[in-house]
Amino acid sequence: VRELREGAKGKKFWSVDVKNAKLLMPSADVFADLLKGVRVLDVVRRGKFIVFVLSNHMRLVIHLRMTGRVMWHVEKGRDKYVVVTFTFSDATKLYFSDVRKFGRVWLYTEKEFEKVTGIHRLGPEPMELSKSDFVEIFYKRKGMLKNLLLRQDLITGVGNIYADEIAFRTGLHPQARMEKLSKTQIGKLFESVQYCLGEGIRHCGVSVSDFVGTKGNLGQHQHYLQVYGRKGLPCYRCKTAIVKTVAAGRGTFYCHICQSIN
DNA sequence: AGTCGCCTGGTA
DNA sequence: TACCAGGCGACT
């Protein structure tokens, strides 16, 4: 979003070329009709959604899901995955592509877009949250740690990699019961959430499989991961082999010595 | 809380 | 060839 803001803020849409209308809401026609001549006032983020604030009181919203990419060029051999091309009046082009087609693009009014996209159901931004508010959300909440961290309606932004990293840093098993944690433990969990997300942001994301920046630049945080993807490798804290299992329906990595189920 | 479906490509 | 993949909504 930071890169998109730098590159797109102030620009005016000239044309839109839709290659795969199925990922666009409400329709390809709406994109073509309503974007021409419209200026990008700002690009912001809400949870995992990219939000273009437009001069016609509409919002262009993109969710990358698994393999979506927003880039200033078409990558070699990936032409067939381009979903939509935005051309600005200065002739620069912005491409949204998606191999698996899970991503979504919406164009709605400022009144409608939150409900249509589901943004209105998102919890608070964890990096802008106080510890006491965080504790209030999770203290005595029934469920497993990882399931609850992944729930975007409680706090937004935590995905599979960061959930594992957060659990490891807190010394808690991903399947620890949240309702059994003390306020002190929840407070420590909060510190881990902010630390892990903060480091991920500082290192410009995790480029372990699909993520790349808008210019093809790779993130660096994959070099700093403590447990995710480290199955069979020695725990950085105790040297015991990291275990991989399935929790919350997702591949889950943890150290069975350092991370307690209580 | 678990499973499936959505899609396709990379890897064991 | 089977299985897995940083997401998420529907369904059980």
Q: pLDDT tens for residues A168-208?
A: 999 999 999 999 999 999 999 999 999 999 999 999 999 98
Does A102 contact strand B, using a CB cutoff of 7 Å?
yes
Cis before A174? omega within 30: no
Nucleotide nearest to A244 (CA to C1'): C4
Residue A161 CB lies within 7 Å of the nucleic strand C: yes
Statement: the pTM of the whole predicted model exceeds 0.95 = yes
Nucleotide nearest to A249 (CA to C1'): B2
Which amino acid type is present at position A166? I
| A91 in contact with nucleic chain B (CB within 7 A) | no
Q: Which nucleotide is nearest to A146 (CA to C1')?
A: B1
C-alpha distances in Å from residue A75, one per residue of A79, A82, A105, A151, A186: 7, 10, 20, 33, 43
Which residue intervals of chain A are DSSP H helices?
2-8, 28-35, 113-117, 131-138, 145-150, 160-170, 183-202
Among A207-211, A239-243, A248-252, which stretch is predicted with the lowest mean pLDDT?
A207-211
A209 Cβ contacts chain C strand, under 7 Å: yes
Q: Is there a contact between A252 and A244 (Cβ–Cβ < 8 Å)?
A: yes
Q: In whole angstroms, what separates CA A183 from the centre of its chain?
A: 27
Q: How far apart are CA A73 and CA A66, in angstroms?
A: 19
What residue has its CA nearest to the C1' of B7?
A100
Nucleotide nearest to A148 (CA to C1'): B1
- 3-class state of residue A223 by DSSP: helix
Mean pLDDT of chain A, nearest integer: 96
How high is the pLDDT of residue A43? 98
Q: Rounded to an integer, what distance in angstroms lies between the CA atom of residue A127 and that of residue A193?
A: 8
Checking if the pLDDT of A237 tops 90, the result is yes
